[in-house]
Structure 1
Amino acid sequence: MHVLYVYPNFTTPRGAWSTRAYDFARRWIEQGHRVTVVTGVYDKSDLRPTGSTWTGVVDGIEVRAINVRLSNRHGLGRRVLTFLLLAAFASWHAVRRSYDVALVSSGPLTLGIAGLAARWLRRRPFVFEVRDLFSDGLEQLGIVTNPAAVTSLRWFEGACYRSATRVVALSETMAERIRRRHGIRGIAVVPNAASTALFDHGAEPPAEIAGRDAAFVFTGTMGRANDCGQLLQAARQLRARGRDDIHIYLVGDGQRRPALEAEALRDGLDHVHFVPLVPKDKLAGWLAAATAMVLTLKPVPVFDTVSPNKLFDAFAAGLPVIQTTQGWIRRVLADHDCGITVDATAPTALSDAMVRLADDRQQRDRMARNARRLASDVYSVDRLSNELLDTLVDALRPRRSTPAP
């Protein structure tokens, strides 16, 4: 089977982003399949193409990239233009290239155009992988406020769902929202995966964090969605309680990072540290020295559906999680006793949870063991790559023809 995998921000473990496409594609190739990844150039990726477009092989994976840079630091206008260029590039491949099934990963939602091209112009099975509820995110974050624009986005989402041979959601909460709004049935749920192999080598902690008795780590993008101001508020409360021994590390980049650094400097938060992007294969050292991973998101309903990469990095590293969403992740942490969920709107909840884990070694160690067990038993890359592969194989089976949207 030849899979055309449209994924906007492909990277390997040498980059500083999710390796979902890389990990899954490599395993499918090992099983005798062929994978062609169509992608852009994300600023957290290690992909460095030359020329306006690039074709190459990365660890056995055929990669075709348009050399248009994607960055969370870019403004809305530039990002929309980038998304449209990537959608056009992917659609050309969907129409002109030879393959058996198209796997299109969204967001951005514009990549759905490539899926529609595969389904209706090339008459190939189209599997729509939904990594976020794009229109809900834009509306709830206040990025798109015009009701007609939101309605148009939702109509296009619905067209993609109805045209897809199969739909894959990254969480059960996400799948339920799609079922309820669009009436789509038979949605496969394949969350992000825990790459335990990256954390099995006893990595040496960096000097910046080594030796800390209590170190809480946030990794990834510092943007509007992540609401990292919650971490600075917790730091102020910790200082007021005389707990400057508890350190907070923000590892990554994003549009809001300069403002966060300025705020921490202004308030004298010496126990808050900002660290540049760390490649995935170097992250193990940071997490090995951490007390817990902290996952903050803005308290809006759409984020109760997400499947954040950093959550699975924490599980793979055997690290407890403190997080603020109120959907499926809250249930997983409670059911498996591997972390603490706090209310993002409660003023002291985050700092209270940090103190609790910093002071209770027994609870911390128990949660760490449970997190690692969950990574191996439920969220392993081998298991989840096979689940998505089964969905792709199923999409190739003959079905009744579907009317165009």
Structure 2
Amino acid sequence: MKILFLTDNFPPEVNAPASRTYEHCREWVKAVDQVTVITCAPNFPTGVLFEGYRNRLFARETMDGIEVIRVWSYITANEGFLRRTLDYLSFMVAAIPASLRVKKPDVVVATSPQFFTICAGYVVSKLRRIPFVLELRDLWPESIRAVGAMKQSFILDWLEKLELFLYRRATLIIVVTNSFKANLVARGIEAKKIHVVTNGADLSRFQPLQKDSGLVETLGLQGKFVAGYIGTHGLAHGLETLIEAARQLQEEGRDDIHLLFLGGGASKKALMARVKEQGIRNVTFVDSVPKADVVRYWSLLDVSIIHLRKTDLFKTVIPSKLFEGMAMGIPVLHGVQGESAQIVQNEDAGLTYEPENAVELASLLIKFDDNRELASRLGRNGLAAARKYDRQHLANRMLHLIKTTRRCVNKDEREKNEKS
């Protein structure tokens, strides 16, 4: 079996979509004949090419047995709706002809959140006459409305019509939460072709570690209780709440509680400017680091903070950083309502707080700092639960669904040919 996968994020980028795709494909190459990924030159989130890469029309490389084809795209930072849309469109236009250079794929998988990659997957499935698997990691374009990135308009209405068209045309839909499945079924998509494969963590990489003493010294974190946010600093994440909590802690004389931010995104410059303007001393920003180094920064954390804006849409998502923190044995302060909060509560892996409530977040940080045994117990609970979200197991489940779908399609085609 030969799998063709379309995604605009892939290592050495280190965001959640890149990690999920890479870790799934890395497992698949052990069980199928070939896995080919079509992506673009790595540049997320800054819009600056990673060292050693060029934005060429077509380039090939091999990564852990995965054939990677990189195509030209319009490169821009992860900010500004129009520029990002041009980025997405250019990848769609380049990915379709590049797919024709892949020898006899048996199935095409295209991953969201933005649907222009999904459009490319649909077109490729028609051109190559192969099943079309849609992986849904975000309810886009609904998420555009949720963060206010674009006002109500006919464009968003048109994108939603396109979204539903693609759902209907997909042979198989993989969603990352049960809430996503319920959303699609309520909008008329047949339930039998929708399957849930949640996010998870690579347990071979994410596991309990002693604090990296070199980083502790470099970042000046000696004797600090470190609360960390690791991930994209985007409009959806509402990280202003974390900055305000840090300010309140400093005012209360609890600046021994230090907030560490690792990553980049559209909101990072504004967040840094706010910290400087308000004279907040108990916050440190670190730029994105190579994938291999991320766990060193995770090791610094006494507690992981997860946060999204307070909106109904985000009740349906489960941030992948939740599972990475659990696998590291780090308790979580979880500022996301809905399905993901239920996981935290059911597994007793952390404490939840109201999104955009800086007062409550600051109070819980003090609670953890004053009660290290509580933090330790919740961390151990998360570590035990992380086995349920082992990326290797999840990758194999998704592969099983893809293989089953392909067999069913082939069977239907044979029966159709026999009748004709």
With the length of structure 1 as denominator, give the TM-score of the two structures. Answer: 0.92
Q: Summarize deviations over 1:261-303 as a string: whole Å, max 9, x none.
A: 1211121110111111122221222222211111111112222
Partner in structure 1 of residue 139 of structure 2? 133
Q: Distance in 1 between matches of 2:253 and 2:406?
A: 61
**Aligned to 1:63, which of 59, 68, 72?**
68
Structure 2 matches for 1:338-349, cutoff 5 A? 338-349=349-360
SS in 2 for 1:396: helix
How big is the alpha-carbon RMSD for the aligned residues of Structure 1 and Structure 2? 2.1
8 Å Cα contact 1:5-1:104 kept in structure 2: yes
Whether the 8 Å CA contact 1:72–1:223 is kept in 2: the answer is no
How far, CA to CA, are the matches of 1:171 and 1:209 in structure 2? Answer: 39
SS for the counterpart of 2:400 is helix
Q: Distance in 2 between matches of 1:54 and 1:2?
A: 20
Letter in 2 for 1:233: E
Please point out which of 83, 91, 114 is paired with 1:86: 91
Asked if 1:384 is matched to 2:384, the reply is: no
Mapped pair 1:305 → 2:316: yes
Q: Is 2:235 the counterpart of 1:224?
A: yes
Q: Alignment partner for residue 151 of structure 1, among 131, 146, 157?
A: 157
What is the aligned partner in structure 1 of residue 30 from structure 2?
Answer: 30
**Which one of the candidate residues 244, 254, 267 is aligned to 1:256?**
267
Q: Distance in 2 between matches of 1:383 and 1:264?
A: 41
Secondary structure at 1:216's aligned position in 2? strand
| Aligned residue number for residue 398 of structure 1 | 408
From the superposition, tell whether residues 339 and 77 of structure 1 become closer, same or farther in structure 2 (CA, over 3 Å): same
* Residue in 2 that maps onto 1:211: 222
Report if the CA contact (8 A) 1:234-1:351 is conserved.
yes
Question: Structure 1 residues 258, 147: CA separation in 2 closer, same or farther (over 3 Å shift)?
Answer: closer
Decide whether aligned partners of structure 1 residues 109 and 155 sit closer, same or farther in structure 2, where only a CA change above 3 A counts: same
Q: Could you say which residue in structure 1 is the equivalent of 2:418?
A: none
Does the C-alpha gap of structure 1 residues 289 and 96 become closer, same or farther in structure 2, counting only changes over 3 Å? closer
Is 1:351 matched up with 2:349? no
44 and 83 in structure 1: CA distance in 2 versus 1, 3 angstrom threshold: closer
The aligned counterpart of 1:16 is 14
Deviations 1:373-405 (A, max 9, x none): 2222x110111011110111012023458xxxx
Letter in 1 for 2:121: G
Judged with a 3 Å threshold, the aligned counterparts in structure 2 of structure 1 residues 236 and 105 are, in CA distance, closer, same or farther, namely: same
SS of 1:134's equivalent? coil
Instruction: Specify the alignment match of 1:290 in structure 2.
Output: 301
* 2:417 aligned residue: none
Distance verdict in 2 for CA 1:179–1:71, change over 3 Å: farther
Asked if 1:190 is matched to 2:197, the reply is yes
- Cα–Cα, structure 1 residues 350 and 69, in superposed 2: closer, same or farther, change >3 Å? farther
Mapped partners of 1:140, 1:224: distance in 2: 10
Displacement of 1:319 = 0.9
- Counterpart amino acid of 1:340? L
Q: Alpha-carbon deviations, 1:48-103, whole Å to 9, x = none?
A: 54333211111211001113365553422221111111112222244553200111
Shift of 1:47: 8.0
For 2:416, the equivalent position in structure 1 comes to: none
Give the whole-Å Cα distance in 2 for the aligned partners of 1:307 and 1:209: 32
Separation in 2 of the partners of 1:182 and 1:147? 23
Describe the shift of the 1:11–1:70 C-alpha distance in structure 2 as closer, same or farther (beyond 3 A).
Answer: farther
Report the Cα distance in structure 1 between the residues aligned to 2:273 and 2:221, rounded to whole angstroms: 25
Residues of 2 paired with 1:364 and 1:35: CA distance?
41
5+ long unaligned stretches in structure 2? 414-420
Q: Where do 4+ consecutive residues of structure 1 move more than 6 Å? A: none
Which residue pairs with 2:276 in the alignment? Answer: 265
Once the two structures are TM-superposed, the CA of residue 200 in structure 1 deviates from its matched residue by: 4.2
Task: Please give the alpha-carbon distance, in whole angstroms, between the structure 2 residues aligned to 1:129 and 1:94.
Answer: 18
- What is the alpha-carbon distance in structure 2 between the residues aligned to residue 336 and residue 58 of structure 1? 35
CA distance in 1, matches of 2:223, 2:57: 46
User: Aligned with 1:143: secondary structure?
Assistant: coil
Q: Where in structure 1 are there 5+ consecutive unaligned residues?
A: none
Map 1:309-388 → 2, pairs under 5 A:
309-376=320-387, 378-388=388-398
Matching residue of 2:112: 106
Once residues 212 and 314 of structure 1 are traced to their aligned partners in structure 2, the CA distance between those partners, rounded to angstroms, is 21
State the identity %. 28
Supply the AA of the counterpart residue of 1:370.
N
> Is the CA contact 1:193–1:384 (under 8 Å) kept in the aligned structure 2?
yes
Q: Which moved more, 1:125-134 or 1:104-113?
A: 104-113
Question: Any idea what the Cα deviations from partners look like across 1:140-191, whole Å, max 9, x if unmatched?
Answer: 2222323422221111111111111110111111221121123331211112
Q: How many residues align?
A: 398
Q: 1:278 to 1:172 in 2, by over 3 A?
A: same
Q: Aligned with 2:173: secondary structure?
A: strand
Indicate the SS of the match to 2:191.
Answer: coil
Structure 1 stretch 294-303 or stretch 195-204: which is displaced more?
195-204
